[in-house]
Structures are given as structure tokens and as C-alpha cells.
Structure 1
Amino acid sequence: MPSLLRRRRVRLDRVDAAVADLELPPAVWKTCPWQPRSLVETGLRQWLRCCGPAMRDGKAIGMPSRAVDEAWHGLILCTARYSEFCMTAYGTFLHHNPVDGAPEGLLAVSGPMDEQLRRTVIAWSLVAKPGEQCLLWDVDTKVGVEHPWGLPLSRVAEIQAAVANLSEPRTTTWASA
């Protein structure tokens, strides 16, 4: 979860390029056994793209997938690669702050998990390519995670409809959708 408290200059095209260029070594998958791995990898790349608007706007987003979260943990453990990726993509290090491990004061700023997941859907609306489907909402079910996290597709559709009803979705603020 991004933990910035102020607005940053993060270019989403730079995030897209860094995510596309990111090589994921075998170590990323050591604690992420779910198959097909390609679905989890796509979800991880989509998550990292969603982090761009969150980093730019200083808002925490929620992780909707246990499988993607495990892959992200594996990437984080590749510290040099992860640090270099973060600097290239976001211009700063993207910290992972689990709900029970965030620095004091962050939770009050971040809001409850349902609010963070709402912001994840909004972030996706800002980074999705035309016609691209997001795997984050139900990838856990697709890869057979025993206790999937996910986000009900009805809730995703509700948030997306609110975003679509705004006159300029590319300038969406977190509070307006």
C-alpha cells in the first residue's frame, strides 16, 4: 500500500513502461504456487500500474488478491531489483504497509480496507488500456486460492459506473467516485 501523504509527480506513461520492462526472476514465485502463473503475473503487473495513481495522489489502495500479494512479496524480497523498479516507475520507493504494520498515523489517512479497494478500482480506471480486463478482482478464484480475497464484480461495476458518470474520468479525484 502506498504510504505517501502528499502529492507526487508520477507520470503514468513512465509507470507503464517500467512495469512492461520489469523482469520477474524465479525468486518472485517461491511463495506463490498458484497456476497458471501467467494470470498471477498479469495481476501483479496490473497492481503495479494501479500503484502509479496512488503514489501520485498520496492515497493508499487496497490489495484485492492474495495470489498477487504473495507475488508482490516475492518481488519485494528481490530488494535491488525492486528498489530500482520503484525509482524508475514512481521516482521513490513503494513501501508495503500491511494494515497491522503501517506506521502510526497512516491508517487514519488510508481509511478502511473497503475504501482502499474502492480507490484500487478508481486507479484501474486511470491506467487501463482500452478494452483491457482487470484480473485483480477475481484472479484468486481463477487460480484456485483456497481463501480468495477478491472484490465482488458487482461492487467493481458500481464503482466503475460512478467513475464513468463523471464528466472527465481522467481527472477523477479519489473522493468523487
Structure 2
Amino acid sequence: MILASLLFLSFLFLLFFFCKFGLREIDKAVYHCFVGSGIPGDGRCLFRSVVHGACLRSGKPSPSETVEKELADELRDKVADEFIKRRKETEWFIEDDFDTYVGHMRQPHVWGGEPELLMSSHVLKMPITVYMRDKAPGNHKIIAEYGQEYHGNENPIRVLYHGYGHYDALQTPVSASESKLFKRR
């Protein structure tokens, strides 16, 4: 009886929240408690985080460290190719000489950042949402969203930016493929 009452109260809370703030805010409220996956800081962390998140988003298991490293290097190469393909629209926001930057980015231990997240979303044709830890323990806030044209509100790849150049993959306690919230969309 108590469990049924708690479930009903939870339902009422979500219903109230949806009516007041909309579905996008429910996504943030329901999924504010993420689990980091422990991506190593080897210069590939951004690419590893993205491919790890892409596997989870697609309903696949987390890749082994070896497979994750290989997939990260493949994504890095495709991102560099995407920069070249989109040169006219990306050249202006690259700080260094464009060709030097792209050549440098092909190196396996070079850190990626916002430009690489944007190109990763285009390569994978998936939205990517970047979070940082919030002041409250266990909470995260969205700091950037890429690839919104690829169904941005539908289960994005979630990446945690720790600051100081390190990225980690974020997982929800319930995988997105199992979530009733995502199945309804």
C-alpha cells in the first residue's frame, strides 16, 4: 500500500512538472543523476566518451577498452575529414591555420574540444549534450548541445566535461533503451 502511494505521488509530481515546465525540463529533472564511466585521460577522452555514449545510445553494451580506443581513433579521423568537408563553415572558428589544425587533430594524443564535439555530431548524425557537475552533489547541468538537427531532444549522447580538458561518458542509472520516457517519444 505504501509503495503504491509512493508511486502515485511520483506520478503526480512528474505530471505537475510536465504541465509546468514541459518535457525538456522533465528530461533534465529525471536524468540529473548520472554515472561517469571512467574514461582514461589519454588524449582521446573526448572521442572515447562520444563513442562510448554512442554505443549506449544505440542499445549496445559498453565497448571494451581496446575496442573503445579503436573506435575513438576512427571517429577522430572521420572528424578531421568532416572539418575538411565543411571547411567553409568551420574555418573561421579554428584558431590556428586550418590545415595545420586538422593535421594536428589527426594525431592520437591531441585533445579535442568544442569544434570536435560539433563535428562528431555531424559524423555520427546524433545529438551530443555536454554536462558539467553542478554545485549540488550528484547533479549535472547542461553547458552545450550539438547536433540538435539530429533529433536533439531524443536521447542524446551525454558527455561530462570535468574542466581542464577532460571528458567522460555519462550513463543514466536506467539505460535510455530501457527507459519508458524515451520509448514514448
- Shared fold (TM-score greater than 0.5)? no
Q: Please say which structure displays the higher CA radius of gyration.
A: 2
| Structure with the higher helix share, 1 or 2 | 1
TM-score, length of structure 2 as denominator length = 0.29
TM-score, length of structure 1 as denominator length = 0.30
| Structure with the higher strand share, 1 or 2 | 2
